[in-house]
Amino acid sequence: MAAAEQSSKSKNKLTRQQTKGLRIVCYTLSLCLFVLAILLSVFCSHGYSQELDLSKFTYVGWDADGLPRGIIDVDAIISALRLPSPNDAHVSVEHYPDVAALCSMSLTLSYTEDETMMHCTVSCDVDTLKKYGIIVESLEWDQQIKGAVIEEPDSVAPSTKPLEPETTVHPLQTEQPKMDEGYIVRLLDKNDNGLNLRDVCQRVHDERDFLCKEIFGNNYSTTKTQVYFIVDTQQEDYVNLYRAVYHTTQKLDAAELEKGVEPDVFFFTVDIYDLRWTAEEKIVYGRVDVNMYNTQEEASSTSRFDSGRYRIDKLYGGGIVVKDKNLFDQNGFIRFGGYPTSYMMANGVMWSPSYDELSEDMIWSLTAVQGHSLANVLRYVRKEINARYYMAFSQTEENEFFVHFNQYSWYEAKEENWEDRMTETERNNIKLLRQIQSLVEN
């Protein structure tokens, strides 16, 4: 009896101990699941949790009016965080509070004691971003103005007055200075950028080809030897004159060359008068004359314009040589007047104006670069598109570009099948650059 009672008590004690242990395990598992749920809700609501350094996605440079302006590359931030792009038609921003918070950021600039630096202040919904696992490192910092040239007299003097806040805009939305409607007295706009001369050049080429075909059929070659822009300050005969000078040579067949036949050569000018800037922001012109000469010296002579009544500008490669115009920016890319210079985007791709769709006006604005022909500048614009994909330039065949791009730390010659990855926009840009280069060279 006593033994049975003792056995029963032992079994009851063992059962209570097992129950207690089971409860402890359950409590522990419940607590772990609760903590895990909190961590998942706070840090993994969108599958990421990381710090965001806004300064790495912000560009500060001079705008078209010579004032410092700042741009936050929100698209690059969204791409780096792997968030849905608000540019996609099927994405509704209201369903993504973190994306909405990023898109609503605004940037304010104020001057510092250093003329090359601006103080950046960002207005941002940090609470919403934090809720979705995006930790903003800082909302204020000092940043260098890219491409600032302090020695130039037109540089903006520092001031204690902050600039007006501006919302995030795309770099190519910078408004360009307008021309005054009427006759043109120089081939530059108010910001010293070259005007779009495509229509003028096309008319010159049409007149050239018509004359040469009348004389030689299709058997000829031409060389543009000089271009002038002449302004009649007294406006007695005309207001302005765009003149292209050509040297044309007859092409001979093999039999004629074997006989030692000398090819015919002649020289001529195409004159386009009274270029005007219209309300539609285009260049139109008046009469067109073609004149033939016996020698290169006669065709190129400007002796009739020697009086003080005329102002003559020589154009090289389609554009006027202007002082204080830098060709390359800090990353070795061509500087487009009035647009930001290049910078590294979050995905590692170098941005420049040629990364987006180029317009004819933007391309023709490169006529105002010092010491370089427009044709050569356009070659560099095309090659920088290739360089962004790390195209390997031949040291023998393309040594000019090999030397140029290899001096910059961002460039590596490591890709062979880069053409397949080019965007349609970049392909169109290269096509347009080639078209205008052909106009200039021929």
What does the H/E/C string look like for 296-360?
A: HHHHHCCHHHCCCCEEEEEEECCEECCCCCCCECCCCCECCCCCCCCEECCCCCEECHHHCCCCH
What pLDDT digit, counting tens, does each position of 297-341 carry?
999 999 988 888 899 888 765 555 555 457 888 888 988 877 787
**Which two structure tokens, joined as six digits, stand for 1?**
């009896």
- Say how many C-beta atoms besides its own lie within 10 A of residue 35's C-beta: 10
Instruction: Of 79-93, 129-143, 275-289, 427-441, give the lowest mean pLDDT range.
Output: 79-93
- 218 & 300 share domain: yes
pLDDT of residue 429: 92
Confidence of residue 162 (pLDDT cuts 50, 70, 90): very low
Helix (H) or strand (E) holding 23: helix 2-43
pLDDT value at 30 more than 80: no
CA-to-CA distance for 228 and 217, rounded, in angstroms? 28
CA-to-CA distance for 123 and 85, rounded, in angstroms? 21
Percent of the chain at pLDDT > 90 equals 15
pLDDT of residue 100: 86
Q: Is residue 15 part of a domain?
A: no
Q: Where are the beta strands (DSSP E) in 11-81?
A: 50-52, 58-62, 68-72
Q: Report helix, strand or coil for 420.
A: helix
User: Could you list the residue range(s) of the whole structural domain that residue 405 is in?
Assistant: 343-441
Q: Is residue 14 part of a domain?
A: no
pLDDT value at 418 more than 80: no
pLDDT of residue 77: 86
Q: Is residue 115 part of a domain?
A: yes
pLDDT of residue 219: 87
Comparison of pLDDT for 420 and 155, the residue scoring more? 420
CA-to-CA distance for 157 and 66, rounded, in angstroms? 11
What pLDDT digit, counting tens, does each position of 190-224 carry?
777 778 888 888 899 999 999 999 988 888 888 88
Q: Is residue 243 part of a domain?
A: yes
**Does the predicted model carry a pTM greater than 0.75?**
no
Angle at 405 between CA 332 and CA 392, to 5 degrees: 145
**Of the segments 348-357, 414-423, 432-441, which one has the largest average pLDDT value?**
432-441
CA-to-CA distance for 116 and 158, rounded, in angstroms? 9
- 352 & 417 share domain: yes
CATH number at residue 375: 1.20.58
Q: Is residue 93 part of a domain?
A: yes
**Of the segments 21-35, 160-174, 286-300, 319-333, which one has the largest average pLDDT value?**
286-300
Quote the number of domains for the chain.
Answer: 3
- 202 & 298 share domain: yes
**Which two structure tokens, joined as six digits, stand for 33?**
């699941």
- 143 & 206 share domain: no
- 147 & 203 share domain: no
- 163 & 54 share domain: yes
- 115 & 211 share domain: no
Angle at 195 between CA 191 and CA 199, to 5 degrees: 170
The domain boundary residue, chosen from 282, 317, 352: 317
Q: Is residue 42 part of a domain?
A: no
- 84 & 136 share domain: yes
pLDDT value at 438 more than 70: yes
pLDDT of residue 266: 92
Cβ-based neighbours of 227, under 8 Å, separated by 6 or more? 242, 243, 244, 245, 314, 315, 316, 318
Q: Is residue 85 part of a domain?
A: yes
pLDDT value at 369 more than 70: no
- 160 & 215 share domain: no
- 247 & 350 share domain: no
Q: What is the CA radius of gyration of the chain?
A: 34
CA-to-CA distance for 278 and 286, rounded, in angstroms? 13
Which residue type does 255 have? A
- 227 & 311 share domain: yes
CA-to-CA distance for 75 and 84, rounded, in angstroms? 10
Q: Report helix, strand or coil for 165.
A: coil
What is the arithmetic mean of pLDDT over 354-373? Answer: 80
Comparison of pLDDT for 287 and 367, the residue scoring more? 287
**Which two structure tokens, joined as six digits, stand for 160?**
């204690």
**Buried-state track 309-347, b at ≥16 Cβ within 10 A, e below 16:** eeeeeebbbbbbbbeebebbbebbbbbbbbbbbbbbbee
pLDDT value at 269 more than 70: yes
- Contact (CB, 8 A) for 89 and 40: no
Q: Is residue 90 part of a domain?
A: yes
What pLDDT digit, counting tens, does each position of 39-81 carry?
555 444 444 467 888 888 887 776 655 677 788 878 778 877 8
- 61 & 165 share domain: yes
